Amino acid sequence: MINMVINGRQVQAEEGMTVLEVAQKEGIRIPTLCNFKDINNIGACRMCVVEDTKSGKLQASCVLPVSEGLSVNTASPEVLDARRTVLGLILSDHDRSCLTCKRNRSCELQSLADELGMTEIEFDGPRTIHTIDEASPSIVRDNNKCILCRRCVAACEKVQGVYAIGLQNRGFKTQIGSVFGFSLNEAACVNCGQCIIACPTGALTEKDATKDVWAALADPKKFVVFQPAPAVRFAIGESFGMPMGTRCTGKMVAAMRRLGADRVFDVQFAADLTILEEGTELINRIKEGGVLPMITSCSPGWIKYCEHFYPEFLPNLSSCKSPHEMQGVLTKTYFAQKNGLDPKDVFVVSVMPCTAKKFEIIRPEMGRDGYRDVDATLTTREFAAMVKQARIDFVNLPDEGFDDILGESSGAATIFGVTGGVMEAALRTVADILAGEELKDIEYNDIRGLEGIKEATVHIGGMDVNVAVAHGTGNAGKLLDAIKAGEKNFHFIEIMGCPGGCVTGGGQPIVDAETLRTINPLIERTRATYEEDRDMPIRKSHHNPAIKFIYDEFLGEPCGHKSHELLHTHYQPRDRYSNKTV
């Protein structure tokens, strides 16, 4: 332990800690803008300066290591003046249209300006005006609101390994951009939205779909169906002041009905369906000598990453569409037929924890006969915004259930939203099929947890099945490199594009950097997910009676002719630097 002094008080700190970390531990909140836990610790913004009381120097606390006898003041007049000066300089070249910004009241820059009493712009003058990049179907980049903290760049490079954005130019002309001056739509962006989660301001936001959904709800000719992903129900409450990890399934459904949805189905139904299709596909590949390892295809961010950077693994992808696309297909075929509806009049709204789904729904292979499987995708944040616009009292809503039959699901479907969940759900079914009996041990703890890559060998049906789980495309790349080098050998791999899986997807509620130092949303939302799984009366996908019914009534059999026509697809290679297919 190292002895040091903070604000005249003797404290002890572990070797290797920074002054910022020690202050946080002692209950002192040092402001930051560029610092982002475990991702971006570069001391660039200078908001976190503290005074070395012995030398009088101001130093960035996020990169200042503790040392024996160090004495700092975190709120001296010199420190406060320096922070106000730094903040004033940032604001001098910042678009200050706060009232119309998506991040109004959730902007870290705005919060600091209020905290430091910034009542006027001391350095006001001509500003650099940037063109807003709205070309992507998933992400809007507005450099007029960028403060060059580089948190988005760190998330894209260090976590996701995509390198779609980076610093360009020098001095006052410095900006965040893509290679060759590309828009995000032209660049090799995988649309994961982790840059949005990292951004402290409104410089990066999702492409808004709320206007389209409001228009559909107001159109008497449209039959509007809402369908939420598993991870949404464990995060939506945060948007209304509820504790992180609150289970809000019933309130979420009730809110969708009050917005005007004609039906509320559950993507978890299609998650169970995915397990039957994907599990059958895996068994067929193992028995018939198909391409192995088979890799999951639920995450559109991962799919696009594979298309750009590892096209040689495209044959390894499961041919299954993602669950919300399957759900949309069944709504516009089976449900529409049963209820005498024209599929073109059925408007399917997916509520997703994901921004990559916005790109996925416009892929040409995701539709037929002149209509798309899914018409609009709302992020969790956008759905919350619509609930607030409608003045719905979310917290006090009664719990309501989904509509039959496309709203029935199992616990296996619930865990689709966390890393390892798709793998575990598949194993619960595949193990029973290969073993020829109902296995009681259904929790696969070896593939749970927060490690970037998890490996396990599961003995089922008289054979050893080697499996792996990776979350975040950066970890996916490491795993695929090991397979290419002949260092690893697997039968089945689950990959999710976002770190932690869908529960921390790019469309989930924003958690500010200061909160992230003490609370991990991945842990809290994952805990809620497994709690809901344990409370479900059915915990295996093939036990869901609605799944059995849909095969008997409509689809025939898993991986049969009908399901292949409606529920399966294929992908194609893309250029490594641009969005073009090759």
Question: How sure is the predictor about 436, in pLDDT bands with cuts at 50, 70 and 90?
Answer: confident
For this structure, is 318 an active site residue?
yes
Q: What is the pLDDT of residue 462?
A: 82
Which one of 78, 134, 157, 365 is the catalytic residue?
A: 365
Catalytic residue among 108, 277, 278, 408: 278
Q: What is the mean pLDDT of residues 388-416?
A: 97
One of 251, 357, 454, 540 is an active-site residue; which one? 357
Q: What's the pLDDT at 442? A: 79
Is 565 known to be catalytic? no
**pLDDT given at position 58:** 98
Residue 92 annotated in active site: no
Model confidence at 580: pLDDT above 90: yes
Sign for the CA dihedral angle at 240, 241, 244, 247 comes to negative
pLDDT per position as a tens digit, 10-43: 999 999 999 999 999 999 999 999 999 999 999 9
Quick: pLDDT tens for 246-255: 999 999 999 9
- Residue with the two structure tokens 């976590």: 159
Percent of the chain with pLDDT over 70: 100
Q: What is the pLDDT of residue 1?
A: 92
Evaluate if residue 461 carries a pLDDT over 80.
Answer: no
* Residue 158 annotated in active site: no
User: Mind spelling out the 3-state secondary structure of 48-117?
Assistant: CEEEECCCCCEEEHHHCECCCCCEEECCCHHHHHHHHHHHHHHHHCCCCCHHHCCCCCCCHHHHHHHHCC
Tell me if residue 259 falls in helix, strand or coil: helix
- Could you give the CA distance from residue 179 to residue 306 in angstroms, rounded to a whole number? 19
Residue 126: per-residue pLDDT: 84
Enumerate residues 6+ apart whose C-beta is below 8 A from 296: 278, 302, 317, 318, 422, 423, 493, 494, 495
User: Is-contact 572 307, C-beta < 8 A?
Assistant: yes
Query: How many whole angstroms separate alpha carbon 397 and alpha carbon 402?
Result: 15
Q: What is the mean pLDDT of residues 120-124?
A: 88
Q: Which of 108, 186, 360, 524 is catalytic?
A: 360
Mean pLDDT of 437-455: 89
| Domains of the chain, start order | 2-90 (3.10.20.740), 128-206 (3.30.70.20), 211-567 (3.40.50.1780)
Active-site residue, selected from the candidate residues 251, 502, 559, 563: 502
Would you call 357 a catalytic residue per the annotation?
Answer: yes
DSSP secondary structure code for residue 209 in this structure: -
Active-site residue, selected from the candidate residues 281, 325, 408, 532: 281
Q: How confident is the model at residue 125 (pLDDT cuts 50, 70, 90)?
A: confident
Average pLDDT over residues 433-459: 88
**What token pair was written down for 129?**
């005006």
455 is catalytic: no
What mean pLDDT do residues 474-495 have?
Answer: 97
Please report the pLDDT score of residue 434 as a whole number. 81
For residue 441, name the pLDDT band (cuts at 50, 70, 90): confident
pLDDT per residue as tens digits for the range 337-373: 999 999 999 999 999 999 999 999 999 999 988 899 9
Residue 365 annotated among the catalytic residues of the structure: yes
211 is catalytic: no
- The single residue of 45, 48, 199, 298 carrying the catalytic annotation is 298
Catalytic position from the list 136, 239, 297, 318:
318
Q: What is the mean pLDDT of residues 528-537?
A: 97
Mean per-residue pLDDT of the chain: 96
Amino acid identity for residue 435 in this structure:
A
> Which pLDDT score, from 0 to 100, does residue 512 have?
97
pLDDT at 463: 85
Per residue in 213-239, pLDDT (tens digit) is 999 999 999 999 999 999 999 999 999
pLDDT tops 90 at residue 375: yes
